Chains A and B, each alone.
Chain A
Amino acid sequence: MNYLFEPGFFSSSPVHIAVVVGAVSALVSGIVGVFTVMRGQSFAGHALTDVATTGGSGAFFFNFSPLVGFLGAGVLGASAMDLVGVERLRGRDIATGIVLGFATGLAALFLYLDATKNATTGVSQQILFGSIFTLDPTTIPLVVVMSVITLGVLTLIYRPLLLSSISPDLAAARGIRVRVVGVLFMLTLAVAVGLSSIAIGSVLSTALLIGPAATALRVTRNLRAALVVASVLGVVATWLGIVLAYDSFYWFPSSQGLPVSFFIVALIFLGYLLSGLPALRRRTSSPVAAEPTREPVGAAA
């Protein structure tokens, strides 16, 4: 036991906070992520983390609460993407890119102004890569409450969202307002992503949103099963990553540990690669049977 968990792991309060917030973020990201991957909105999901961090650096400069910055920018970004966004997949891609590019430019400005105003160092790295070990304990209740709200909205729009993700035409024929559902989902995505990027950093936020969901959709074609698999994978990867990062302080003589985001992302990436192996085998033996595994739960139209 001591071999796996280096001394002090269970009594360290940053570790406790990281374990709780990491798990909550992983859970929500996994669930929202399944829909994001299914709808082919991975790019938007990732871009929103960058947009949200722009809001974070802006809040830092204007002395807002960072939460207002993260969530506000995320919601604004999502609305802008929807406003520019053509219904077509490729148009959406461009719209996302334009909003992302503009947000990036703003981030450059805010980070520059932050650095000249406060003469603090480490801001850009902190904002980009986040640090799960330096979380403020007071953010926990907020993260939990917003996560519950996010999941609540998702539960409310579950059926129409599912139908309009799989077949927009069929959904429209059934009287579902596909566009309204799409906007609602984008806003949910913005809030979920904003929350996880404030809690665990922008890199980890994208990793936990897309990785477990893409893996889950590869191993099962059942949506409910995919939701469960994605959340479990996310939480397991997060906890394992935290343990490894904590231990890594003892690995090098310089006692300079590796960042926790590195371990979590590496685990998620490994999981995705491994999930491709059985499909690979099946495909080579019988191409017909393997066909559905390529695009599970209906290709995101």
Chain B
Amino acid sequence: MFSSFMINAWLIGSIVAIVAGVVGFFVVMRGSAFAAHAIPNGAFAGAAGANLLGINPLVGLGVFSLAAALGIAKLSRRGRADAVTALALVMMLALGAAFLSQSTEYEPAIFSLLFGEILGVSTGQLWPVIALGVVCVVAVSVLYRPLLLTSIAPEVAAAKGLRPERLDVIFLVILACATTMTVPVVGALLIFTLMIGPPAAARCFSDRALVAMSLSVIIALLTIWGALACSYTTNWPVGFYVGSYSAASFVIGRLFLAWRRTHGSRRSRASAGAPERVLIGA
């Protein structure tokens, strides 16, 4: 399980989990789950296009996920955000289908773009992932307060002179950045799962932003480590385990919340209601 070819998988899995935990926390807080689903799928089209042109897939991934992020941000100002996201998503996927129809790409390559090939990561692939991961985490920590404020209380943020639309764009670009680095390794579909399940679960356990964010990273790490170990022993795809464990962590989180509401002391009962208020920002 810790043989040389698995070392890279453990390393890259951990980096991806940290980035997904941090960025995903804001995905859940800002309610941009759909964008987090759409951008990686758009990136998939970019990889297919780069393949067709014979250029580095990372370039295609970057260009397309950035285009998806900016396109969604731009079009959302003049329409319903969710409908626009859906349209951008299908347009990207259709482009991907068009690229694939022109290339001689064989089936397993498509499968791995969608579902990842974390077990076959080379050391050369490690560096771009680390670099982009650091960029994402630094960007989130620099923008931590404005991001949090615009997510929880847009009116207060606006009163303080913050521009919510501009932060939306910046956040989507961070999302695109996180996507570019992770899609070739964990696949377009997995990264989304990892960005939703663990942060949503973490939110059930704590109503304090920093604690919830740290918890989100920890749960994401546990998810990916457990998935890697199980995938190694059973030979089933990593994606299946990541999907199941993420969903399971969310279910446990919700059960915990329900239990605390009925069995907790008055003090903790009061704070059990708080996550909804503080974190969702009703």
Q: Which A residues are within 8 Å of any B CB, using their own CB?
A: 37, 40-43, 45-47, 84, 88-91, 93-94, 96-109, 111-112, 115, 121-125, 128-129, 203-204, 206-207, 209-211, 213-214, 218, 252, 254, 256-259, 261-262, 264-266, 268-269, 272, 276, 279-280, 294-295, 300
Partner of B244, one of A89, A105, A111: A105
**Which of chain B's residues has its CB closest to A275's CB?**
B79
Given the known inter-chain contacts A98-B246, A125-B100, please indicate yes or no for A45 contacting B110, CB distance below 8 A: no
The 8 closest A-B pairs by CB, nearest first: A105-B243, A108-B239, A101-B193, A265-B94, A109-B240, A97-B33, A102-B247, A90-B31
Contact A125 B247 (CB under 8 A): no
Cross-interface CB contact of A98 among B90, B97, B200, cutoff 8 Å = B200
The yes or no answer to B146 lying at the interface (CB within 8 A) is no
Our pick among B34, B80, B84, B237 for the contact of A109 (Cβ within 8 Å) is B237
- Asked if residues A97 and B107 are in contact (CB atoms below 8 Å), the reply is no
Most buried by B among A94, A108, A123: A108
* B18 at the binding interface (Cβ < 8 Å): no
Can you report 11 A-B residue pairs in the complex whose CB atoms are below 8 A from each other? A42-B80, A45-B86, A98-B247, A105-B239, A105-B244, A203-B93, A206-B90, A211-B90, A214-B86, A259-B97, A276-B79
Which residues does chain B contribute within 8 Å of A279, judged by CB atoms? 78
- CB-CB under 8 A for A268 and B246, given A100-B37, A262-B94: no
- Knowing A94-B196, A124-B111, the reply to whether A203 touches B31 (Cβ < 8 A) is no
How many residues of chain B have a CB within 8 Å of chain A?
54
Compute how far the CA of A218 lies from the CA of B80 in the bound complex, rounded to whole angstroms.
10
B89 within 8 A of A: yes
Q: B91 is contacted by which of A41, A84, A109, A266 (Cβ under 8 Å)?
A: A266
Residues of the A chain whose Cβ atoms lie less than 8 Å from the Cβ of B254 = 84
Separation in Å of the A221 CB from the closest CB of chain B?
14
Q: Which residues of A contact B84 (CB under 8 A)?
A: 214
* Distance in angstroms between the alpha carbons of A125 and B93 in the assembled complex: 11
B64 to chain A, nearest CB (A): 15
B103 to chain A, nearest CB (A): 10
The docked-state distance in angstroms from the alpha carbon of A246 to that of B95 is 17
CB atoms of B101 and A104 under 8 A apart: no
Contacting pair A101 B34 (CB below 8 A) = no
In the complex, are the beta carbons of A210 and B83 less than 8 A apart? yes
Please name the residue on chain B nearest to A241 by beta carbon: B94
Does A214 lie within 8 Å of B87, measured CB to CB?
A: yes
Q: Check A42–B91 contact: CB distance below 8 A.
A: no
A121: B residues at CB distance < 8 A: 106-107
B241 within 8 A of A: yes
Q: Which residues of B from 1 to 35 have beta carbons under 8 Å from A?
A: 28, 31, 33-34
Partner among B83, B102, B197 whose Cβ is within 8 Å of the Cβ of A214: B83
* Distance of A256 Cα from B98 Cα, bound (Å): 10
Q: Give the residues in chain B near A257, CB-CB below 8 Å.
A: 101
Most chain-B CB neighbours within 10 Å: which of A111, A122, A218, A264?
A111
Which residues of chain B have C-beta atoms less than 8 A from A125's C-beta? 100, 107, 110
Residue B131 lies at the interface, judged by CB distance under 8 Å to chain A: no
Give the distance in Å from the alpha carbon of A295 to the alpha carbon of B83 in the complex. 12
Task: For A112, give the chain B residue with the smallest CB separation.
Answer: B237
0/1 interface trace, chain B 36-58, chain A, CB 8 Å (1 if under): 11000000000000000000000
Tell me whether B282 is interfacial, beta carbon within 8 Å.
yes
CA of A105 to CA of B226 in the docked complex: distance in angstroms? 14
Other-chain residue from B36, B87, B193, B240 in contact with A272 (beta carbon distance below 8 A): B87
> Across the interface, do B244 and A269 meet the contact criterion of CB distance under 8 Å?
no
Contact across chains for B82 and A42 when beta carbons are under 8 A apart: yes
User: Is A93 in contact with B243, judged by CB distance below 8 angstroms?
Assistant: no
Given the known inter-chain contacts A91-B280, A125-B110, A258-B98, please indicate yes or no for A105 contacting B241, CB distance below 8 A. yes
> CB distance A108 to B90 under 8 Å?
no
